[in-house]
Amino acid sequence: MIGYLKGTLRDKKPEVLLLDVHGVGYRVHIPLSTFYLLPGPGEEMELLVHTHVRDDQITLFGFSRQEELDIFRAITSVRGCGPKIALTVLSGMEPEAVLESLTSADAARLATVPGIGKKTAERLIYELKEKLSRYLSTRPAAESGAESQPPPALMDDLLSALVNLGYPKAQAEKAVQQAYRDQPEAAFEILLRKSLRHVMKR
């Protein structure tokens, strides 16, 4: 089983990256919490890896921090919650926000993530509080905003990432616009993070 990879980043998208390890290209699925921390293509990087084996398919999931990997594994251990739901949670919320929600038993906050209903959120809180107890403590929260429109290409990329995560297009547009007004000079990764924070407050 692969548990760690170190190599050269060849390509990155919000949901997957291609890592060259001594001439072998590994396609690794990632949450947005990891995507935000990636270097640029051509740079060296390392990932903690969870290898998921199912029938004749092997899928790699990569994480920049042990905390993310532990949250991912804890979520996938809950009945009815597979890797897709675990990635969606870590893409819809920062790891710190997930842990805050568990600490305060805030099912409504967890249920704002697409695909996580109230019952699933309550089950996650009930089961993960013990499994992630060493991480649970009081942690930081979000931001807000106000002017100007992002360039069309940037707007399309940000919208595509949010819509692919399951957010309605109209809601995503407002969130992207607000994030851009907050910090128009910011890079794509930062704008995507801020857009997610805004869309989850709606």
- The domain of 197 spans 152-201
Q: What is the spatial distance between Cα 87 and Cα 99, in angstroms, rounded to a whole number?
A: 15
What is residue 192's predicted lDDT score, i.e. its pLDDT?
Answer: 92
CB atoms within 10 A of CB 80: 8
- Whether residue 14 lies inside any domain: the answer is yes
**Per-residue pLDDT tens over the stretch 57-89:** 899 999 999 999 999 999 999 988 999 999 999
> Are 122 and 179 part of one and the same domain?
no
- What CATH number did the domain enclosing 116 receive? 1.10.150.20
- Whether residue 140 lies inside any domain: the answer is no
Q: Which residue has the higher pLDDT, 73 or 171?
A: 73
DSSP state of 143: -
- Whether residue 115 lies inside any domain: the answer is yes
Mean predicted confidence (pLDDT) in 52-58: 86
8 Å CB contact between 31 and 164 = no
Mean predicted confidence (pLDDT) in 113-126: 90
> Are 129 and 157 part of one and the same domain?
no
